[in-house]
Structure 1
Amino acid sequence: MDYDLIIIGAGPAGYVAAIRAGQLGMKTALVEKKAVGGMCLNWGCIPTKVYIESAKLFDRIKSAKAFGIDGIDPAQIAFNWGTTKKRSDDIVKKLTGGVNYLLRKNGVEVIHGQAQLNGPSSVTVNNRLIEGKNILIATGSYPKNLDFQLPDGKSVEVEQLSQLDSFPEKILIYGFGGVALEFAQFFRMINREVTLVSPVKNLLPGVDTYLSSYLLRKTRGRGVQIIEEAQLTVNTDNQLFINDKPANYYLLLNCSWRRAVVPASEVELKLTADGYIQVDEHLQTSIPGVYAAGDVNGLSYLAHVASAQSLYVVNRLQGMPDNLKINQFPINIYTIPEVAQIGLTEGEIREKGIEYRIGEFPMSANGKALAEDSADGLIRVLSEKKYGEVLGVQIIASNATDLIAEAAAFMSVEATVYDVARTIHAHPTVSEVFLEADLDAADTPIHK
């Protein structure tokens, strides 16, 4: 065999698996047809957060006077998209450079080209046959194409935003999920007129209804028009309609369904009804020795879950015990305020018939949040009633996507609200809300 492990796809699942495999002494090949880092690092997770942070600062600086900073006229400031893109490019270059260095450091051979799976132990890349003891497919997903084009403007995917030199005044977003809401707020923060059209009723599938209702209310309050259970069509006269009403927009951002990128294969890979690669509880496909991690298996679209899945596969191949809690991972939405959750939602707890209680604490009672002028939101801790085991945590806060890591840590060791309530939290910090919410769940609240 040429390699111990051949990995197809160099996104968060593929490159993380390659680095770990190299660290464990496995001779590893990483095949990538575009760019190391995949969609997440090059066009998705990282660039989009750079865009959003620039828009947040642009929006926040308008309140400088309230912080005692004079001389800034909100009417005179402008959002520079070109500079924002340059900053994003610089950050991506730094991070991808770091990943490529780590791959070299750990002896991973990176092969650029299109991979074809020939069997349980062989892959063809650029007419070169390579063989490996095991194969990991980590090819990700791609956006489903729309059935039409915007009559008088451009229709783009998120990864194509950087190709635009400017944005029109009216922007239409079609889709659902965290990305759709993030960009609805992004465009609104830079003073664009935004309409978000969702083909489904639930814009945030998998997110607790309490959180989704709160975020939709806040997004509408910022001036975003949201139309649920709606369809976009273009008639024979090239007129765009939202349901039965004519509409005119000059940029459409597609944030709708995604599809698995299934590599070409000479052997049959069993797929799910939705077209994802079918895997078992160990992420092995229908072909022995061939595994699939990340978006391509349809279990999650989150980069951190993709990385966790790929580490699980590599560790098991080396006989290392690894307990992958496939349904216990943070979900983050980078809006204003941010939203994050982990564990069971309240609806799921009810469906399971578990007796539970909720501990809550508002950000408006947290000193650090007030000092930062970011007191919008709250934390909810859902726990089992008898013994207090934490079942789920939900956060709405300016930095919820960072705060959720504490919840992930204590849930990974099956901590109770009593354990968290006995943990000393530094003061003043926003993270004190964990202490307060768990004290509330334990019936011993201090500041509530």
Structure 2
Amino acid sequence: MSDLPVVVVGAGPVGLAAAAELVERGQRPLVLEKADRAGAAVVQWHHVRLFSQWSELVDPAAGRLLAGTDWQRPADAEYPTGAEWAAAYLRPLAAALGDRVRFGAEVIGVARRGRDRVVDAGRDTEPLTVHVRLADGGEERITARAVIDASGTWEVPNPLGGDGLPAVGERAAADRISYRVPDLTDEAVRARYAGRHVVVAGSGHSALTALVAFADLAERAPTTRITWLLRRGAVGSTFGGGDADQLPARGALGLRARAAVEAGRIAVVTGFRTERVEGRDLVSDHGQRVSGVDEVVVLTGFRPDLSWLSELRLDLDATLQAPVALAPLIDPNVHSCGTVYPHGVKELSHPESDVYLAGMKSYGRAPTFLAMTGYEQVRSIAAALAGDRASAERVELVLPETGVCGGAGVFDEPAQDQGGGCCGAQAEPQVLTLSVPQGR
């Protein structure tokens, strides 16, 4: 099977990095992307500025590949927006990879050739078959020696409903609910929210980004009301590590969000798990009600689409839907804070040989993924596929601290003080609802 390609699903940051790593190892990658350009998901949050600097956003092998072109490397210490990341890095990288990247090719299934999930015989000797739907509606089958799924989770946002399923009435209210950070620099988008009662649901960095943007909008349009819904029982460590965060931009975001709350521009409701959307009211599973809501921005995370991998034997954690060996390192129910331990092919392997989930897809439902993590994952995978097991298992990445604790699993009680990082000084528990008076 050595003459067959390694199929990489997704032409985003990690998928393209995987291709660059494979090329450098003398392997034959084929990146399949259903959109018509690289970084299609990144472009959808084009207005959001990353926490990572350019020095952390360029995969090492990709940088070496681009160095042989007329590419101009951005200044290492700058923080790009999604649009800048795509334009200045992802699209030039896809161009440098040339015909190794195919657009308009949607992967709709992967299986062991001639064997469904149940069949044992020949599973270790047969290649993989990748089922592809083309932009013109046609279909194709590609035989592959390995598959790296770097398709991400962007297209499957978590719902507003507190039990992981849409709340009653959530679908019917779709015209008033958004699942992305809105671009308030766009005049039409700004007009949609200005002067309205906007509810932001979520506790991660996307929610903090939206809250800061809405707080700025409220200063310019004072009749704008902002309510922040948290499923957890206390604000606790939601604002992150602040000055202690080793990603300064991420720490600064939390500080700005905290300042907006303390200034009274954002009302905070804790312990609220939405059960129903009734007209302009949101109702929790305990009967609490947030009334007069005009718009809802749901930023409760994402989940992987595993439907097209159903014929493969994947070993996934029952809670996170992440590779079972990786899950304990990233599970917000048990992982306090600090660094995510370096990991690679060992943690990402499955019973189905030569199949890997990489990038955000590998994290399942866990939060706080960094590009550097994905780059190290695919470097390790590429080394393993090239037969360099020693390099594959020698993972030496050091990640910035703070930002992992207090994830989706911690909503009834604040995280216990673990000391240091974002789990250091914890706020005292609030009782159900915290509403900060104006002028504080």
TM-score calculated relative to the size of structure 2: 0.58
Instruction: Report which stretch shifted further, 323-332 or 128-137.
Output: 323-332
Please state how far the C-alpha of 1:175 moved relative to its aligned partner: 1.1
Match of 1:409 in 2: none
Give the SS at the match of 2:11.
coil
The answer to whether the aligner puts 1:254 opposite 2:268 as a matched pair is no
Alignment of 1:201-220 (within 5 A): 201=233, 207=240, 217-220=258-261
Q: State which of 107, 111, 127 in structure 2 corresponds to 1:118.
A: 111
User: Residues of 2 paired with 1:238 and 1:186: CA distance?
Assistant: 23
Write the letter of the residue equivalent to 1:100: A
Match of 1:321 in 2: 391
Question: Is the contact between residue 282 and residue 313 of structure 1 (CA under 8 Å) also seen in structure 2?
Answer: no
Please state how far the C-alpha of 1:332 moved relative to its aligned partner: 6.8
Match of 1:295 in 2: 360
Question: Is the contact between residue 279 and residue 291 of structure 1 (CA under 8 Å) also seen in structure 2?
Answer: no
Match of 1:98 in 2: 92
Report the CA distance shift for 1:230/1:206 in structure 2 as closer, same or farther (over 3 A): same
Please state how far the C-alpha of 1:286 moved relative to its aligned partner: 2.5
Report the CA distance shift for 1:108/1:88 in structure 2 as closer, same or farther (over 3 A): closer
Give per-residue Cα distances to partners, 1:355-384, cap 9 Å, x unaligned. Answer: xxxxxxxxxxxxxxxxxxxxxxxxxxx6xx
Question: Is the contact between residue 39 and residue 91 of structure 2 (CA under 8 Å) also seen in structure 1?
Answer: no
User: Residues of 2 paired with 1:205 and 1:217: CA distance?
Assistant: 9
Match of 1:194 in 2: 226
Match of 1:129 in 2: 141
Name the structure with the higher helix share. Answer: 1
Please state how far the C-alpha of 1:188 moved relative to its aligned partner: 0.8
Structure 2: tracts of 5 or more residues without a match: 51-80, 113-126, 134-138, 161-166, 219-223, 246-250, 326-345, 405-414, 425-440
Please state how far the C-alpha of 1:190 moved relative to its aligned partner: 2.2
Question: Is the contact between residue 139 and residue 262 of structure 1 (CA under 8 Å) also seen in structure 2?
Answer: no
Q: State which of 167, 187, 191 in structure 2 corresponds to 1:166.
A: 191
Give the SS at the match of 1:229.
coil
| Count of aligned positions | 305
Structure 1: tracts of 5 or more residues without a match: 51-86, 334-344, 351-381, 383-391, 396-448
Name the structure with the higher strand share. Answer: 1
Give per-residue Cα distances to partners, 1:116-138, cap 9 Å, x unaligned. Answer: 11126221112322122221111
Give per-residue Cα distances to partners, 1:147-182, cap 9 Å, x unaligned. Answer: 243859610111675794633223210111111011
User: Residues of 2 paired with 1:88 and 1:297: CA distance?
Assistant: 21
Report the CA distance shift for 1:175/1:235 in structure 2 as closer, same or farther (over 3 A): closer
Tell which has more relative contact order, 1 or 2 (C-alpha 8 A, sep 6+).
Answer: 2
Please state how far the C-alpha of 1:205 moved relative to its aligned partner: 6.7
Please state how far the C-alpha of 1:309 moved relative to its aligned partner: 1.7
Q: State which of 161, 164, 177 in structure 2 corresponds to 1:155.
A: 177
Write the letter of the residue equivalent to 2:377: Q
User: Residues of 2 paired with 1:206 and 1:283: CA distance?
Assistant: 31
Alignment of 1:321-360 (within 5 A): 321-322=391-392, 323-324=394-395, 328-329=399-400, 347-348=417-418
Q: What is the aligned-residue RMSD (CA, Å)?
A: 4.0
Please state how far the C-alpha of 1:12 moved relative to its aligned partner: 2.2
Please state how far the C-alpha of 1:247 moved relative to its aligned partner: 1.3
TM-score calculated relative to the size of structure 1: 0.57
Write the letter of the residue equivalent to 1:125: V
User: Residues of 1 paired with 2:200 and 2:28: CA distance?
Assistant: 45
Please state how far the C-alpha of 1:232 moved relative to its aligned partner: 3.1
Question: Is the contact between residue 293 and residue 309 of structure 1 (CA under 8 Å) also seen in structure 2?
Answer: yes
Match of 1:404 in 2: none
Please state how far the C-alpha of 1:28 moved relative to its aligned partner: 0.8
Give the SS at the match of 2:210.
helix
Report the CA distance shift for 1:88/1:136 in structure 2 as closer, same or farther (over 3 A): closer
Please state how far the C-alpha of 1:264 moved relative to its aligned partner: 0.8
Instruction: Report which stretch shifted further, 262-271 or 288-297.
Output: 262-271
User: Residues of 1 paired with 2:362 and 2:85: CA distance?
Assistant: 29
The answer to whether the aligner puts 1:175 opposite 2:187 as a matched pair is no
Please state how far the C-alpha of 1:221 moved relative to its aligned partner: 2.2
Please state how far the C-alpha of 1:194 moved relative to its aligned partner: 1.7
Match of 2:378 in 1: 310
Write the letter of the residue equivalent to 1:47: H
Alignment of 1:76-95 (within 5 A): 92-95=86-89
Give per-residue Cα distances to partners, 1:210-257, cap 9 Å, x unaligned. Answer: 879966642312422222211334466664346523412222111013
